[in-house]
Amino acid sequence: MTIEAKPTNGARSRLDPEAMPRRDFLGLTAWWSAAAALLFGFLGSMRLPKAAVLPSPSKKFKITLPASLASGQAYVPAGRSAAIYKEGMQVYAVSTICTHLGCIVKATDSGFDCPCHGSKFAKDGAVLKGPAPKGLPWIEVKHLGGDNFLIDEGKSVAAGTTVTV
Amino acid sequence: MLCDTSRKMKANKHLLLWSSLAALGVLIWAAVDENFYRDWRVIQRQVRARLLPSQADAFAIRLRQIVSRDTGATDRCVSCHVGMAPGESGIEGDRLYGRHPDVVHDPASFGCTVCHGGQGRATSTADAHGKVPHWPEPMVPKEYSLAGCGSCHTHLSVPNLAELQKGKLNFEQADCLACHRMDGRGGTMRPGGAGGQEGPDLSRVGATGFKQDWYEHHWAQKKKAATGPWVSAFGDLPPAQRGAIDEYLRSRVGAPGLVEGKALFHMPELTAVGNKDPGQVSFAQVPGERSVANWLKQHFRAPASVVHRSGMPELGLTERQIDQLTFYLLSLRRRTSGETLWPKDRIRAERFGAREFATDGATLYGTFCAACHGQKGEGMRYPGLPEFPAIANADFLRLVSNDFLREQIKQGRPGRRMPAWGASEGGLSGEEIGRLVTYVRGLGAVPFEGDSQPRRWAKGDLAQGEKLYTEVCASCHGDRGEGKVAPALNNRVFLNLATDTYLYKTIQNGRSGTSMAGFGAGSSVRRTLTDAETASVVAFIRTWEGKK
Amino acid sequence: MNQAAEKPNATEPPASARFIENLKAFPNRLADTMFRTGRPQSDRTRATFVFGNVFLHLHSVRTHQWSLRWSTTWGLGIATASCFFILLLTGVLLMFYYKPYPEVAYLSIKDIHFVVPTGRFMRNIHRWSGNMMVVLVLLHMARAFYTAAYRAPREFNWLIGMALLVMTLGLSFTGYLLPWDQLAYWAITIGANIAQSPREVTDALGITEWFDVGGLQKLILLGSEDVGEEALIRFYLLHVMILPLAVVLLMAVHFWRIRKDGGMTRPADAEKRLGSRVDGVYPVFTAAPEKTYSLAAIVKGRTAAVGEGPEWTLPSMPHLMFAEAAVFMLTIALSVILALFLDAPLKEVANPAVPENPAKAPWYFLGLQELVAHSAFMGGIGIPSIVLIGLALIPYLDRETEGTGNWFGGPGGGPLVFRSVIVGLAAVVALEALVIRFGWLRQWWPATPQLVVTLLNPGTLLTVLYAWYSLWCLRRFDSTRAGALALFTCFVCGFIVLTVIGTYFRGPNWDFYWSPSQWPGH
């Protein structure tokens, strides 16, 4: 059995929503410093997922162009995303990574086709069709003598830059 | 009570406040430490301050690293040695913060630790240089930095040390250094005119290759020229000298000192150094302070001072030899990397079984035999172990044919310390054993005296033979010929190879300079054996043949 | 259907205007809907805030003053939970970079240490709060025991607490392998072979062929015969998934039961000892409610609060909140301070061919390792099981009420605990001295059968001594509580001494050394 007691003089009833006494400076400082510490720690720890260094290995590789490579025919080394062309005495390399969403484009007789969203590129990398925002970048080629070349997929050069054999 | 409650509350508030402030303070401290005072940040700030203004603007303070999937390197050394990072130039001409000196292998694609050792993943100085507990591979010391080549060039081909020195001498005597540079020396003359090197730098010619007809080529040049060094400095070279120079040039792979050190390692003068597989040398277990080089040097000077109860004798090496050997040992740090990266020497050695050191008799003997049989075949005596036979002993060599020696090396002594060098994989080829036999024969300089008797001729009283054996021989050779301080006679290969003449004469004449005395000659202090008695003993020893 | 009702009120602005209006009001409405009962500014709204909030409603709305005294709990439970919270957070962060595969795991720890932003600090925090949690959970248990808080109606919560203790040790142990360094590898190898140690008994009995529970345990733990990639992925799964989930679940029950079992234990005369009641608050109930208002089916009969007036309680918000927040921040402060100054250890990469010497388990298992050095089964499984079973039975065997809620309460009290400390220390130190100086069965009688060696561990003898002493106390004071006090105290002493010996006085080959500086050089 619950018995309601009568209010006594000077006491206030808990059932009435009463104004709380203003919180003291100490309590507020305590809460805010705790919040500050937690926030600072949280913000600091949120820096963790952004890696400070990326494991970007060297993308340089050496190739030997086959003697049978016809002028204007793409040579795509296995496992690499670069197409190397030899036109006369001029050698250049075009990246085969689609500028749209990163699929590997396939070299065809007329240029490059992207299997993912239908972009088409010319042999010099220019966009012919599809959603690709820009042409395929040209990448750095260095002549090492004979039919040997050093390709650096990590370094793009201005379109039209060729190496004379 | 209110005051009690609020006091408790106040205490909690204080606890909350001060704990929070402490935590906040520590967090801020940690943040400042990480973002401003890491070793690499401090160094990069200093480097930036020293850069030209135009360079300094482009220079970002950030972690840099070299990653190579092929060598397995993830090397952040370039976070401090920024000039060596790919695409950076750093401070021009600075040894630590400038570019890496030109070397055969581009550090940007090979990484740093593959040659220099240390801890590539670390970004603080002490950790990176490996001078911390729990990192087993400290940096290769600066003065031995070329020892780093050994991580991949595990099977660097080296000629016989004597040949190498002869080649070097010839190279210098022929005044090649006038036009060519070699290991940082020479190249002061210019054929065309005043000063400065025209002939190519030959320091790495062993790796890059050179014209086999260089001599003829030089002659052709000389004929064309009218004046200058071509006329004054180049002259005739006899074929023998040219051969020695060729040998020397082939050994020049850009690692002077390492080649010499390795050649020394395989010389007969170094008796007790075992032929260790480089892969088994673990620096993790090297005790003492962490300067491995110093430890190794001390180890060569006085093995027992660094290895408790070391059985290795003091070799009496010169400091220069100690230095060279330390160099070589520091290079034994084989790394596992893809075979595509293997140098030719290593492929030749590991895939085709070619030896990486010279295969003349002397080098082979120094590598495989000298540790036990002594550098001159005089035998070795180590405390607590039976004596190793003196194989250059004249009394021994006189009695054994080259076939005996060849088969002995090939088959070993089963169950004894002498391994079968021919049978096991990686053992010696027939040709190499032939060279060894010639070398061993040469050590004693005694030819086989020949044996007209059949291999088995001894007949005698077996009972008497056994009695005599027990009386005379057993104390050294064991009751059943199993060998004690003297070699085992009851050994399959021994009994098969030794002729009766060999046994008979050895018993009769003994072996001078060893504990085996001659029992034939009269002696006042010792039991002697008559011819018939000796034959009985031989016949008795023969009874073990074919038995277990 | 009333057409008029469907028509928009003429005085109301058009829908487009209302849309703008709603958009403007969004921030305030969001706040209002978040705090359904308005901002917690009065005792009443605070109360509704506490029971209306999913995170806070584990607390009762009002907290007894006794519970707010520091000496009641020393905040150990909250501190343990805080550690767990820190561990969850830092653990999740570490998982961004950790790769559970041999060798690769080691390298990823190196990366976390050297290049991951805040990685080294996070790993250190994880490491130190992990250790702190083990210490705190043990202290928390000791507090619960010494204040007799396990008694009715809190028996089951004591059991849940024991399960949490075991899981905490499991979490720490599984985490030990993840760095894949020498320390990890050999500690886990030892641990896994302890799991296999029942084979000692089955071997001695000759029944291993049919009943190989030891082998099965090791196989399930490692997924292989040795510590390898299978073991690593299992330990990883246990560490980041199974055990944390189980701990979260049990912690929820543990907390819930605190409330449902009537809050913190307090002595029967708590209110008298608190002195006068809180002034200025008008009591709602002058007499205690006699009617049960139990709602949760989990609690049988009346709620524990029945029969007790609320006058001695204070609003949980802010009183309890301040206390909890203070302990929480203190725990954080301690762990970040440790993390700033002490790096978590990382030795050489694991090398199965070269054992560490001495290879030591995590510190809290070094007491066991000290026993294991004599026989794996009794030291590693037998005695720990006896201790765990004994602890679990305490609340069911001690049904007395005297001393509940008081530190060292019960017959005998403080003096009994003090005497038990003396006896407990004396026994374990004397036994260890004997073993270290004169050896054990094998050194005396080399022909002792294996089964005897296995079962007659020095720990067995110690356990028997302690049990005998506590029985003596039980009879002397004619009280089960006195026996429990004696036994528990003795075991705590034994645990501490063995752990200290295992940690500081054992060197290579598990030989005794006064200090690591005397270890033989290599």
Instruction: With CB atoms and an 8 Å threshold, state whether B287 touches C522.
Output: yes
Interface contact C340, partner B, CB < 8 A: yes
Task: Return the amino acid letter for B532.
Answer: A
Nearest to C379 by CA among C438, C449, C454: C454
Both structure tokens of A116:
């993912």
Of B356-370, B513-527, B532-546, C300-314, give the range with the top mean pLDDT: B532-546
Interface contact C216, partner B, CB < 8 A: no
Nearest-CA distance B165 → chain A (Å): 36
Return the CATH architecture of domain B462-542: Orthogonal Bundle (1.10)
pLDDT band at C164 (very low <50, low <70, confident <90, very high): very high
Which positions in chain B touch C125 (Cβ < 8 Å)? none
Distance of CA B445 to the CA centre of its chain: 30
Instruction: With CB atoms and an 8 Å threshold, state whether A53 touches B20.
Output: no
| Mutate which: C61, C116, C291, C306, vs A, most A CBs within 10 A | C116
The least confident of B319-328, B518-527, C155-164 is: B518-527
pLDDT band at C468 (very low <50, low <70, confident <90, very high): very high
Beta bridge mates, C124: none
Which positions in chain B touch C337 (Cβ < 8 Å)? 22, 26
Tell me: do C450 and C318 sit in the same domain. Answer: no
Which of B62, B74, B86 has its CB closest to that of A55?
B74
Interface contact C119, partner A, CB < 8 A: yes
pLDDT of the residue at B282: 34
Q: Give yes or no for a contact between C469 and C421, defined as CB atoms under 8 angstroms apart.
A: no
pLDDT of the residue at A2: 39
Nearest-CA distance C172 → chain B (Å): 22
Q: What is the pLDDT of residues A26-83, one digit of tens each?
A: 888 999 999 999 999 999 999 999 988 887 777 778 888 888 888 878 888 888 889 9
pLDDT for C422 beyond 90: yes
The alpha carbon dihedral of C346, C348, C352, C358 has a sign of: negative
Surface of A (13-32) touching B: CB under 8 A: 26-27, 29-31
pLDDT band at C143 (very low <50, low <70, confident <90, very high): very high
Instruction: With CB atoms and an 8 Å threshold, state whether A57 touches B17.
Output: no
Return the CATH architecture of domain A60-164: 3-layer Sandwich (2.102)
Nearest-CA distance A27 → chain B (Å): 6
pLDDT of the residue at C409: 85
pLDDT of the residue at C60: 81
Beta bridge mates, A164: A90
pLDDT of the residue at B285: 39
pLDDT of the residue at C309: 56
Q: How many Cβ contacts (< 8 angstroms) between chains A and B?
A: 57
pLDDT of the residue at C139: 95
SS3 label, residue B67:
strand
Domains of chain A, by residue range, sit at 22-51, 60-164
Which carries the bigger pLDDT value, residue B462 or residue B523? B462
Which of A3, A11, A19 has its CB closest to that of C287?
A3
Parallel, antiparallel, or unpaired: how do β-strands A82-87 and A148-157 relate? unpaired
- Cβ-proximal residues to B55 (8 Å cutoff; 6+ apart), any chain: B89
pLDDT of the residue at C167: 96
pLDDT for B456 beyond 50: yes
Distance CA C116, CA C122 (A): 10
Domains of chain B, by residue range, sit at 40-139, 161-250, 259-337+343-444, 462-542
Domain membership flag for residue C10: no
3-state secondary structure C178-200: CCCEHHHHHHHHHHHHHHCCHHH
Interface contact C69, partner B, CB < 8 A: yes
Q: Is the peptide bond between C40 and the residue preceding it cis, with omega within 30 degrees of 0?
A: no
Which positions in chain A touch B28 (Cβ < 8 Å)? 40
Tell me: do C340 and C401 sit in the same domain. Answer: no
Distance CA C175, CA B507 (A): 71
Instruction: With CB atoms and an 8 Å threshold, state whether A48 touches C122.
Output: yes
Nearest-CA distance A24 → chain C (Å): 12
pLDDT for C326 beyond 80: yes
Mean pLDDT over each residue of chain A, to the nearest integer: 82
**Which string of DSSP letters, residue by residue, matches C55-91?**
TTTTS-SEEEHHHHSHHHHTTHHHHHHHHHHHHHHHH
pLDDT for C98 beyond 90: yes
Neighbours of chain B (3+ CB pairs under 8 A): A, C
Task: Return the amino acid letter for C14.
Answer: P
Interface contact C45, partner A, CB < 8 A: yes
pLDDT for B277 beyond 50: no
Counted domains in chain C: 2
Helices (H), C225-359: 229-237, 243-260, 270-274, 316-341
The alpha carbon dihedral of C497, C500, C504, C506 has a sign of: positive
Q: What is the pLDDT of residues C82-95, one digit of tens each?
A: 999 999 999 999 99
**Which string of DSSP letters, residue by residue, matches B361-424?**
HHHHIIIIIHHHH-TTS--B--TTSPPBP-TT-HHHHTT--HHHHHHHHHH--TTSSS--TTTS
Instruction: With CB atoms and an 8 Å threshold, state whether A33 touches B67.
Output: no
Q: What is the pLDDT of residues A74-100, one digit of tens each?
A: 888 888 889 998 888 888 999 999 999
pLDDT for A19 beyond 60: no
- Does ipTM top 0.90? no
Neighbours of chain C (3+ CB pairs under 8 A): A, B
Mean pLDDT over each residue of chain C, to the nearest integer: 86
pLDDT band at B310 (very low <50, low <70, confident <90, very high): low
Instruction: With CB atoms and an 8 Å threshold, state whether C326 touches B13.
Output: yes
| Enclosing domain of residue C441 | 362-522
pLDDT of the residue at C499: 93
**Mean per-residue pLDDT for A125-150?**
88
DSSP character at residue C310: G
Tell me: do C439 and C518 sit in the same domain. Answer: yes
Which of B2, B4, B23 has its CB closest to that of C329?
B23
- C-alpha separations of C245 from B542, C89, C164, C238, C263 in Å: 79, 14, 12, 10, 25
Domain membership flag for residue C144: yes
Both structure tokens of B15:
């606890």
Which carries the bigger pLDDT value, residue C25 or residue A5? C25
Nearest to B513 by CA among B399, B398, B395: B395
Domain membership flag for residue C169: yes
Tell me: do C340 and C483 sit in the same domain. Answer: no
pLDDT band at B523 (very low <50, low <70, confident <90, very high): low
Neighbours of chain A (3+ CB pairs under 8 A): B, C
pLDDT of the residue at A1: 35
Instruction: With CB atoms and an 8 Å threshold, state whether B34 touches C117.
Output: yes
Which positions in chain B touch C522 (Cβ < 8 Å)? 285, 287-288
pLDDT of the residue at B359: 76
Tell me: do C348 and C390 sit in the same domain. Answer: no
pLDDT band at C307 (very low <50, low <70, confident <90, very high): low
Which of A20, A48, A51 has its CB closest to that of C42?
A20
Which carries the bigger pLDDT value, residue C237 or residue B140? C237
pLDDT band at C252 (very low <50, low <70, confident <90, very high): very high
Interface contact A134, partner B, CB < 8 A: no
pLDDT of the residue at C298: 52
Which carries the bigger pLDDT value, residue C415 or residue B68? C415
Q: What is the pLDDT of residues B472-510, one digit of tens each?
A: 888 888 888 888 778 888 888 888 888 888 888 888 888
pLDDT of the residue at B228: 67
**Mean per-residue pLDDT for B262-267?**
72
Distance CA B525, CA B521 (A): 12
pLDDT for B246 beyond 80: yes
Instruction: With CB atoms and an 8 Å threshold, state whether A52 touches B62.
Output: yes
Which positions in chain B touch A29 (Cβ < 8 Å)? 17
pLDDT of the residue at B76: 92
Interface contact C354, partner B, CB < 8 A: yes
- C-alpha separations of B252 from A18, B210, B278, B354, B499 in Å: 95, 11, 22, 19, 49
Interface contact A54, partner C, CB < 8 A: no
Tell me: do C332 and C468 sit in the same domain. Answer: no
pLDDT for A17 beyond 50: no
Which positions in chain C touch A3 (Cβ < 8 Å)? 285-287
- Cβ-proximal residues to A114 (8 Å cutoff; 6+ apart), any chain: A98, A100, A103, A105, A106, A120, A121, A130, A132
Q: Give yes or no for a contact between C378 and C459, defined as CB atoms under 8 angstroms apart.
A: yes
Both structure tokens of B159:
């000629």
Instruction: With CB atoms and an 8 Å threshold, state whether B30 touches A29.
Output: no
Interface contact C272, partner B, CB < 8 A: no
Q: What are phi and psi of C228, to 5 degrees?
A: -150, -155
The least confident of B176-185, B346-355, B512-521 is: B346-355
The least confident of B300-314, B321-335, C239-253 is: B300-314
pLDDT of the residue at B192: 54
pLDDT for A157 beyond 70: yes
Nearest-CA distance C436 → chain A (Å): 48
Distance CA C312, CA C65 (A): 6
Task: Return the amino acid letter for B438.
Answer: T
pLDDT for C148 beyond 50: yes
3-state secondary structure C94-112: HCCCCCCCCCHHHHHHHHH
Nearest-CA distance A40 → chain B (Å): 7
**Mean per-residue pLDDT for C240-267?**
90
Instruction: With CB atoms and an 8 Å threshold, state whether A57 touches B69.
Output: yes
**Mean per-residue pLDDT for B195-218?**
76
Distance CA C143, CA C157 (A): 14
